[in-house]
Structure 1
Amino acid sequence: MSSKRDQIILATRDLVFEQGLQDVAMSQIAQRAQVGMGTIYNYFPSKEDLVFCLFSEIKAAMSLHVLDGYDATQPVVDRVLYLLGGMVRYGIGHPREFLLMNQLALVPFIHERAKGDVPALVSAFKQVLIDATQQHLLKAMAPGVILALLSGAMNALVEAHMRQQIHLDQATIEQAMSACWDAIKR
Structure 2
Amino acid sequence: MDIALDKRERILNTAAELLLKTGLQTPMSAIAEQANVATGSLYNYFPSKEDLVFAVYQRVAAELNADMIVEIDQETPFPARVEAYIMRYIEHLWRDQTRAMLYEVITNSPLIMQERVGSLFLEFAIYSIKVFSEPPENGEPEMPKSLMASFVRGAIRNTLKRLRAAGGELTPDLKHRIVVMCWAAITA
The TM tier, using the shorter chain, reads 0.7 to 0.9
Equivalent residue for 2:72? 72
Decide whether aligned partners of structure 1 residues 61 and 116 sit closer, same or farther in structure 2, where only a CA change above 3 A counts: closer
TM-score normalised by length of structure 2? 0.85
Question: Gaps spanning 5+ residues in structure 1: where?
Answer: none
Residues 16-58 of structure 1 deviation map (CA, whole Å, 9 limit, x = unaligned): 1222222x11011111111111111111110011001101101
Query: Which of 17, 20, 30 does residue 17 from structure 1 map onto?
Result: 20
User: In the TM superposition, what is the alpha-carbon distance from 1:135 to its structure 2 partner?
Assistant: 6.0
1:124 paired with 2:127, answer: yes
Query: Which of 60, 63, 69 does residue 61 from structure 1 map onto?
Result: 63
Equivalent residue for 1:2? 5
User: In the TM superposition, what is the alpha-carbon distance from 1:93 to its structure 2 partner?
Assistant: 1.0
Question: Gaps spanning 5+ residues in structure 2: where?
Answer: none
The ranges of structure 1 where at least 4 consecutive aligned residues each deviate by more than 6 angstroms after the TM superposition are none
1:32 paired with 2:67, answer: no
Counterpart Cα distance in 2 of 1:39 and 1:99 = 27
Aligned residues: 181
Name the amino acid aligned to 2:38.
Answer: G
RMSD across aligned C-alpha pairs, in angstroms? 2.2
Decide whether aligned partners of structure 1 residues 123 and 5 sit closer, same or farther in structure 2, where only a CA change above 3 A counts: same
Counterpart Cα distance in 2 of 1:49 and 1:93 = 26
Maintained 8 Å contact 2:125/2:146: no
Counterpart secondary structure, 2:170: coil
